Amino acid sequence: MGYPQKLLAQGEVIEFETRPHWRALFVPAVVLIATVFGATWLYFWIDNAAFGGTVMRWVVLAAGLLILVLWAVVPFLRWVTSEYVFTDRRIIVRSGIITRQGRDMPLSKVNDVSFHVPAMGRVLNYGALEIQSAGENDGLTISDVPNVEDIQRHVYELIEADDARRRGGSGSPVVGPPMPE
């Protein structure tokens, strides 16, 4: 992974970065396996003389390729190109396959950090991180965050450290242990 250092402000340090939880890849993996199996079986089941022969085989290949691109490759690329970066000064969310979109939220503007863990999230350890800001916008909701409770706690520590830094404290106070990737 690795967020480019050139995109950080002078003196800004990345505390941890992550991407959406791996469970986002479960359905694309099932679609990949089922499509490859089903298209291969249909391709060889279709007799050259029956059902339009060669034309039907091309139709099966085209349909299989379309399904793979739309429901396996695109979700995988969305997962790979999404990143959540937490620095000592801001929270950065970037995503996009062809066009990139992003959102930054300064830690100094954060009022509240909460999380929501669905039932399956308790089993697989993921949830949504909801960050409310003092600005005019709606805040920031980051979905499919792995270890969401640990990240929420760590964000509060980052907010306290940023507040101490801005008030002229002793630089960046040491925060908790580094977050696992």
Predicted confidence at residue 100, as pLDDT, reads 93
Token pair belonging to 152: 């929420």
Q: Is the pLDDT of residue 84 over 80?
A: yes
Q: Is the pLDDT of residue 110 over 60?
A: yes
pLDDT in tens, 35-81: 999 999 999 888 766 667 788 899 999 999 999 999 999 999 999 99
Handedness of CA 61, 67, 72, 74 (dihedral sign): positive
Average pLDDT, the chain: 90
Give the H or E element holding residue 104.
strand 101-106
CA 8 to CA 83: how far, in whole Å?
A: 15
Tokens 């050259």 label which residue? 48
- For 95, 154, 156, 179, 180, the CA distances from 176, given in Å and listed in that order, are 27, 7, 10, 8, 12
Token pair belonging to 137: 């916008």
Predicted confidence at residue 50, as pLDDT, reads 65
pLDDT in tens, 161-179: 999 988 986 555 555 556 6
By the 8 A CB rule, do 91 and 107 touch? yes
Rounded average pLDDT over 109-121: 95
Predicted confidence at residue 175, as pLDDT, reads 53
Alpha helices in 54-139 (DSSP H): 54-68, 74-80, 119-124
Handedness of CA 22, 24, 26, 32 (dihedral sign): negative
- pTM > 0.75: yes
